[in-house]
Amino acid sequence: MSNAYRLSGALCLAVFLAAPAAQAGEANMTWRNPEKFTDIDAGEAAQKSFSKGLEKAFQAELDAQAKRLPEGYRLELTFTDIDLAGEVDPVYLRDYREIRILKDAYFPRLSFDYRVLDAGGKPVAGQQGVELKDMAYLSGPKLGSASTAFFYERRMLADWFGKSVLPAVK
């Protein structure tokens, strides 16, 4: 193999690695009056830590979905209410504990406002007062891991994004 051939191959690889990756969309999430949300109760866990974990999980899901947007687009979503799947109830085993119990009657609900901005900052889609709920959340498909933090709520967001946001921006 000639030195020129090796050099051109190395040069192509260097250009490929140095080129910026096509940046997909991004997501910005906020919570409006979380102290008034229907149910983000931590049960036995520390509420502050639980709330941060919830925010992190929801942001991760919205970030993953926003990657499906065209380059430079931005999803801005403000949660106005969250009612997590299940309900925190006392459980009497060897000691008294409060844990989240999942039952059909305690289905997840999410309320939010959103808008999608194009690369120039112009609104291309949006809606206020979006209400998502999954009354059959325990019967639904379990694609992925049900042990994922806030699996049911994240699944609702992914479904909503695919059915409502993507068609509106493409």
- Expressed as residue numbers, the domain containing 101 is 23-169
**% of residues, the chain, pLDDT over 70:** 79
- Residue 70 counted as domain residue: yes
- Residue 27 counted as domain residue: yes
Name the residue among 110, 117, 113, 116 with its Cα closest to residue 128: 113
How much is the mean pLDDT over the chain? Answer: 85
- Residue 8 counted as domain residue: no
- Cβ neighbour number for residue 6 with a 10 Å cutoff: 10
Per-residue model confidence as pLDDT tens digits over 5-26: 443 444 343 433 333 445 589 9
- Residue 18 counted as domain residue: no
List the beta bridge partners of residue 30.
Answer: 78
pTM of the model: 0.81
pLDDT average, residue stretch 24-41: 96
- Residue 7 counted as domain residue: no
Instruction: State how far the Cα of 153 lies from the Cα of 156, in Å rounded to an integer.
Output: 5
Per-residue model confidence as pLDDT tens digits over 56-115: 999 999 999 999 999 999 999 999 999 999 999 877 666 667 888 889 999 999 999 999
Per-residue model confidence as pLDDT tens digits over 140-149: 776 556 567 8
pLDDT average, residue stretch 41-54: 91
Number of domains in the chain: 1
pLDDT average, residue stretch 150-159: 95
- Residue 86 counted as domain residue: yes
Q: What is the pLDDT of residue 68?
A: 97
